[in-house]
Copies of this chain bind each other. A is one copy, B any other.
Amino acid sequence: MNELRKDYLLDRWVIIAKDRAKRPTDFKKPKHKIPSSASCVFCPGRESETGEETYRYEVDGKWIVRVFKNIYPAATMVGDPRINDEEKFFTHGIAYGSHEVLVETPEHGKRFSDLSEMQIRHVLDAFINRINALNDLPGIRYVSIFKNQGQEAGASIFHAHSQILALNVTPSFVKEKMLMCYDYIIKNESCPYCEIIKMEAEGPRKVFENESIIAFTPYASRFPFEVWFFPKRHLPNLNTMSDKELNDLASALKKVIGKLDSLGYPSYNLVYFNAEPKGENFHFHIELLPRLSKWAGFEMETGIIINTVPPEEAAMFYRGEK
């Protein structure tokens, strides 16, 4: 029998298809070749071919991390950021905001999990700088941070990078998470994620833990080998983490993604839920979403996701027990 599970807080369901369960090695793919750096505009020396630079971290006159505007932006700072909802059924506006690319290393051939913990820390520092700068701009409602690794996850350029997309609407998924979290806090006077972290720290889905960070496969995982990362402390945002916590986060990301990469570098998305720039009522977290399965008609119609890897088995894989 397969199992139905609901997300901790949201009305999102998954079918954990145990009967179709696959072992980690069933997902293992041959390693992809690294494409040549000859045509790579993210490599050092071709800075003039990218969009306007918005952040740079340098050592000895050489950049270590760079952020610049996407040449094919999904959003731009042109026009009126307000949404027009006066026409019945036809609510619209300009996609107002900023779409930036963060190059995570000057080295063409390195993947995210190959970077040193210190280099990943530089990436996190760059995010914090851009979150703070973009949230201060008028008209911006949300700053989305995400990484697309591999073709199946929507990446078109190999050189390790993330993206930052600031926009004039609060996205529905983020709003839904924030509302459920806030509703819980009002009713229970405690953060639901603080409670969930404590439960998962004792349970069969724990993946990794250090002093500041806990990582586990969520109860209703939608993706095979999905992992969530939380600071143990109740912190609403990446930019409220301490120096020590950021180092521990860099370490956790490197170790867990490195383990995922041992399956032959599968495609994944890494997304940052940075919901409340100035509030207290959210618990910052990061979701690692491996793209080892395809969402078909059933998922598209219903929103119910079929996942053939039970999160308890995925956690065993990450812990090295399987």
Residues on A close to B: CB < 8 A? 1-6, 8-9, 11-13, 15, 17, 19-20, 72-76, 78-79, 83, 85, 88-96, 142, 144, 146-148, 151-155, 163, 165, 167-169, 171-175, 192, 195-196, 199, 219, 269-273, 287, 289, 294-304, 306
Write the nearest CB–CB distance from A228 to chain B, whole angstroms: 13
Contacts of A92 in B (CB 8 A): 3-6
Contact A172 B297 (CB under 8 A): no
The interface residues of chain B lying within 8 Å CB-to-CB of A96 are 4
B302 with A142: CB separation less than 8 A: yes
Number of copies of this chain that the complex holds? 2
Subset of 7 A-B contacts with CB under 8 Å: A3-B92, A74-B306, A89-B192, A90-B219, A163-B298, A287-B301, A289-B297
Cβ contact within 8 Å between A1 and B76: yes
Residues of B within 8 A of A153 (CB): 294, 296-297
From B1, B148, B171, A95 is in contact (CB under 8 Å) with B1
Known contacts A2-B75, A195-B89, A219-B89: does B301 contact A272 (CB below 8 Å)? yes
Residue of B with least CB distance to A271: B301
* List of B residues within 8 angstroms of A93 by Cβ: 3-4
Asked if B13 and A302 sit within 8 Å, CB to CB, the answer is no
Q: Establish whether residues A95 and B15, one from each chain, have CB atoms under 8 Å apart when the complex forms.
A: yes
**Contact for A269 among B8, B192, B297, CB less than 8 A:** B297
How far apart sit A165 and B2, CA to CA, in the bound complex (Å)?
13
**Complex alpha-carbon distance, A13 and B219, angstroms:** 28
Point out the residues of chain B lying under 8 angstroms from A168, CB to CB: 4
A219 to B273, CA, bound (A): 28
Contact B195 A1 (CB under 8 A): no
Closest to A302 in B: B171
Instruction: Choose from B1, B272, B302 the contact partner of A172 (Cβ within 8 Å).
Output: B302
Min C-beta distance of A275 to chain B, whole Å: 10
* In contact, A297 and B148 (Cβ under 8 angstroms): yes
Q: Which of these, B83, B152, B297, contacts A146 with CB under 8 Å? A: B297
**In whole Å, how far is A169's beta carbon from the nearest beta carbon of chain B?**
6
The 9 A-B residue pairs whose C-beta atoms are closest, nearest first, are A154-B296, A146-B297, A171-B302, A271-B301, A269-B297, A173-B303, A2-B95, A6-B91, A8-B89
CA distance A152 to B295 in the complex (A): 9
Given the complex of chains A and B, what is the CA–CA distance between A91 and B10 in angstroms?
A: 11
Q: Which residues of B contact A11 (CB under 8 A)?
A: 172, 175
Q: Is the CB of A4 within 8 A of B89?
A: no
Whether A169 contacts B89 by the Cβ 8 Å rule is: no
A94 near B298 (CB under 8 angstroms)?
A: no
Q: Which residues of B contact A76 (CB under 8 A)?
A: 1-2
Chain B residues within 8 Å of A287, by CB: 300-301
A135 to chain B, nearest CB (A): 16
